[in-house]
């Protein structure tokens, strides 16, 4: 079986190149032939370790990456399949994982996914039953079963990270979730797209600071005016293209031949910079017609790779008032990252709510509370009667709906999100950290609202508890508890805190060295 990508990415002497392919909305025809043709040429070229196949990008329907990926895999080209959580519940995702294993395609890029777009008859229902962290754990658990059945090759899983964030809260949320993804089992990382070399540097230095030893690939994109315009408008979540870069690209493409030459040169120079900064490889996107552009990029990179420092100033696509964890912009030596100084002020009411809910939780909803045995006895008695169950549920819902917009999931997770509700507060219902789609602290789906994880960071940093964003892997919601009392479920050991042991076992214990541990470090 092909294992070219895994072998190459784990070899520190290799600089790996992968190529992202985007299937169209047809099952046959020119678009399919084009994608397969590019893959064949990539295989013949010999410098591409794998092609990755997107999974309904933008939330809109396209040909399954599993189907076209298998055809490409069959010609000898190794494949990375994008696997999102948007369109299937956990049953469907496990079934899909088993199908991929049977087909031999075990390189997986595990993603939460963009929000649902339009398909047959209108917008699709967003699922997001799992998030990318729990997807990593699910794939590890299935991998153990694969090994036990006699197949030595389990899944080789990777994850994405978006370092090009404007605010401290979003940056911290991304790095904290990266910590959880790696704890859950991710074995390689691919960045989102941006053109700020200092942010690319920051990610490498953060990984070193956090002692996260993982091969990381930087995204490179052949930028056209149309693509740059879409990215500038925020229509591709996590990607950052500034006004200045958009204007430059538009000017370059006033002559198409000059525009193509400039796009290839920019891609080659960014690739050389990433290699110089210590990235293990590059992930090339924006190839839609033929492979020749990729060949030109790689040829040019080979010519200029030793001059990468000269190109650093050209990738200065910084955001106005953007946050940087390191005050220096050196590509080699930097000091300790600075966190806790650039978060938005928290209102007195928000501070009070956070303080009261945290105190209430520590008294009534921790297993080591001195009162825990009494609450357990009381809950057992209340649980024996349907009438008392309903009474507790009504009282709980009234209180929590007023304070949190509670949706009565029965498996409360507010303690993992700064005492904010991930079900009502996040359209993707993420329990393990922010998705990559927020923009200037605002939600990807509802841009008039603050991202719930951005709000959580603001609350936690004022209390010196930001490391809570990194600790452990939070199990997925238990749907069998829907519309029941989470208070009763906690004390009767029915919720995820008591029944997530098998999942927690697969989450490696990591020490987060990213954020300050107490208030004194915030001065």
| Residue 515 pLDDT > 80 | no
Alpha carbon distance 205, 163 (integer Å):
12
Q: Taking CA 456 as the corner, what is the angle to CA 376 and CA 464, rounded to the nearest 5 degrees? A: 85
| Dist. CA 209–CA 324, nearest whole Å | 15
User: What's the whole-number mean pLDDT along residues 78-100?
Assistant: 97
The average pLDDT across 401-427 equals 96
Mean pLDDT rounded to a whole number for the chain: 92
Q: What is the DSSP string of 72-135?
A: HHHTT--EEEEEESSS--HHHHHHHHHHHHHHT--EEEEE--PPP-EETTEEPPP--SS-HHHH
Q: Hunting for tokens 């039953």 — which residue is that? A: 129
Reported as a single tens digit per residue, the pLDDT across 448-486 is 999 999 999 999 988 888 888 988 899 999 999 999 999
Query: For the segment 363-390, what is each residue's pLDDT rounded down to a tens digit?
Result: 999 999 999 999 999 999 999 999 999 9
pTM score > 0.85 for this model?
A: yes
Q: How far apart are CA 346 and CA 58, in angstroms?
A: 33
Q: CB pairs under 8 A, 24+ apart, for 235-239?
A: 235/58, 236/58, 236/193, 237/114, 237/115, 237/435, 237/436, 237/437, 237/439, 237/444, 238/160, 238/162, 238/164, 238/192, 238/193, 238/436, 238/437, 239/164, 239/192, 239/193, 239/194
516's tokens: 């300050």
Look at 16-20, 75-79, 299-303, 348-352 and tell me which has the smallest mean pLDDT.
Answer: 348-352
pLDDT band at 1 (very low <50, low <70, confident <90, very high): low
Look at residue 342 in the predicted model and tell me its pLDDT. 66
pLDDT at 522: 35
Q: Is the pLDDT of residue 330 over 80?
A: no
Q: What DSSP character marks residue 517?
A: S
Residue 28 banded pLDDT, cuts 50, 70, 90: confident
> What is the model's pLDDT at position 329?
67
Q: Distance (Å, rounded) from C-alpha 506 to C-alpha 103?
A: 25
The number of helices, as runs of H, and strands, as runs of E, in the chain is 20, 10
Confidence bin at 512 (pLDDT 50/70/90) = low
Asked whether residue 155 carries a pLDDT value surpassing 90, the answer given is yes
For residue 346, the model assigns a pLDDT of: 83
Quick one: which H or E segment has residue 157?
strand 156-161
CB burial readout 410-442, b (16+ within 10 A) else e: bbbbbbbbbbbbbbbbbbbbbbbbbbbbbbbbb
pLDDT of the residue at 258: 96
Residue 516 pLDDT greater than 60, yes or no: no
Write out pLDDT tens, residues 223-239: 999 999 999 998 899 99
Residue 209 confidence (pLDDT) = 87
CATH class of the domain whose range is 4-161: alpha beta
| Cα separation, 478 vs 45, whole angstroms | 48
Q: How far is it, in rounded angstroms, from Cα 181 to Cα 184? A: 5
Share of the chain above pLDDT 70, in %: 94
Whether residue 119 has pLDDT greater than 70: yes
Segment 30-88, tens digit of pLDDT: 889 999 999 999 999 999 999 999 999 989 999 999 999 999 999 999 999 999 999 99
With a cut of 60, say whether residue 257 has pLDDT above it: yes
pLDDT at residue 93 is higher than 60: yes
Contacts of residue 35, defined as CB under 8 A and 6 or more positions apart, other chains included, come to: 21, 22, 23, 24, 68, 72
User: Tokens 């297993």 label which residue?
Assistant: 367
Which of the four pLDDT bands, split at 50, 70 and 90, describes residue 518? Answer: very low
190-204, 335-349, 405-419, 428-442: range with lowest mean pLDDT: 335-349
| pLDDT tens per residue across span 269-304 | 999 999 999 999 999 999 999 999 999 999 999 999
pLDDT at res. 437: 94
Pairing status of strand 79-84 against strand 50-53: parallel
Across 86-105, average pLDDT? 97
CA-atom Rg of the chain in angstroms: 24
Domain boundaries, given as residue ranges, for the chain:
4-161, 348-522
Query: CB of 137 within 8 A of CB of 473?
Result: yes
Which pairs with CB-CB distance under 8 Å and at least 24 residues apart come from 252-258?
A: 253/224, 253/225
How many CB atoms neighbour CB 404 within 10 A?
18
Of 234 and 257, the structure prediction assigns the larger pLDDT to: 257
What 3 state SS string does 166-185 have? CCHHHHHHHHHHHHHHHHHC
Question: Has residue 173 got a pLDDT over 80?
Answer: yes
Yes or no: say if 138 and 111 are a contact pair by the CB < 8 Å rule: no
């Amino acid at each position: 079986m092909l294992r070219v990508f895994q072998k190459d990415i784990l070899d520190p002497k290799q600089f790996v190149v992968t190529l992202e392919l985007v299937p169209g909305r047809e099952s046959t025809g020119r678009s399919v032939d084009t994608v397969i043709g590019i893959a064949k040429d990539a295989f013949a070229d010999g410098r591409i370790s794998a092609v990755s196949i997107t999974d309904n990008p933008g939330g809109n329907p396209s040909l399954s990456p599993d189907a076209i990926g298998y055809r490409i895999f069959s010609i000898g080209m190794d494949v990375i399949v994008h696997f999102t959580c948007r369109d299937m519940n956990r049953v469907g995702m496990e079934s899909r994982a088993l199908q991929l294993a049977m087909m031999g395609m075990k390189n997986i890029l595990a993603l939460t996914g963009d929000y649902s777009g339009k398909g047959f008859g209108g917008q699709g229902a967003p699922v997001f039953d799992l998030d990318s962290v729990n997807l990593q754990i699910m794939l590890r658990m299935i991998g153990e079963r694969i090994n036990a059945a006699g197949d030595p090759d389990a899944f080789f899983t990777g994850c994405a990270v978006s370092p090009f964030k404007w605010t401290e809260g979003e940056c911290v949320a991304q790095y904290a979730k990266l910590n959880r993804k790696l704890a859950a089992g991710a074995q390689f990382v691919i960045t989102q797209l941006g053109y700020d070399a200092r942010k690319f540097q920051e990610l490498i230095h953060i990984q070193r600071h956090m002692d996260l030893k993982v091969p990381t690939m930087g995204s490179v994109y052949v930028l056209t005016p149309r693509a740059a315009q879409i990215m500038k408008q925020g229509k591709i979540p996590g990607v950052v293209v500034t006004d200045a870069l958009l204007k430059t690209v538009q000017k370059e493409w006033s002559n198409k031949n000059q525009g193509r030459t400039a796009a290839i040169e920019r891609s080659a120079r960014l690739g050389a910079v990433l290699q110089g900064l210590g990235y293990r490889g590059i992930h090339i996107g924006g190839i839609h017609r033929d492979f020749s552009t990729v060949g030109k990029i790689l040829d040019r990179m080979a010519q200029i790779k030793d001059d990468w420092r000269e190109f650093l100033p050209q990738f200065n696509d910084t955001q106005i008032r953007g946050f940087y964890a390191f005050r220096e912009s050196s590509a080699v030596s930097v000091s300790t990252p600075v966190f806790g100084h650039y978060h938005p002020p928290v209102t007195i009411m928000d501070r009070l709510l956070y303080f009261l809910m945290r105190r209430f939780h520590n008294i009534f909803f921790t297993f080591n509370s001195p009162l825990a045995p009494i609450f357990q006895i009381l809950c057992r008695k209340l649980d024996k009667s349907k009438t008392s169950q309903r009474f507790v549920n009504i009282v709980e819902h009234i209180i929590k709906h007023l304070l949190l917009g509670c949706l009565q999931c029965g498996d409360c997770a507010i303690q993992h999100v700064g005492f904010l509700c991930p079900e009502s507060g996040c359209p993707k219902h993420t329990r393990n950290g922010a998705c990559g789609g927020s923009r200037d602290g605002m939600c990807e789906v509802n841009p008039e609202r603050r991202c719930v994880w951005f709000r959580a960071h603001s609350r936690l940093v004022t209390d010196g508890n930001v490391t809570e964003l990194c600790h452990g892997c939070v199990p997925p919601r238990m749907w069998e508890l829907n519309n029941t009392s989470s208070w009763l479920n906690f004390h009767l050991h029915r919720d995820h805190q008591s029944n997530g042991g098998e999942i927690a076992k697969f989450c490696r214990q990591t020490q987060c060295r990213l954020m300050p541990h107490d208030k004194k470090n915030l001065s």
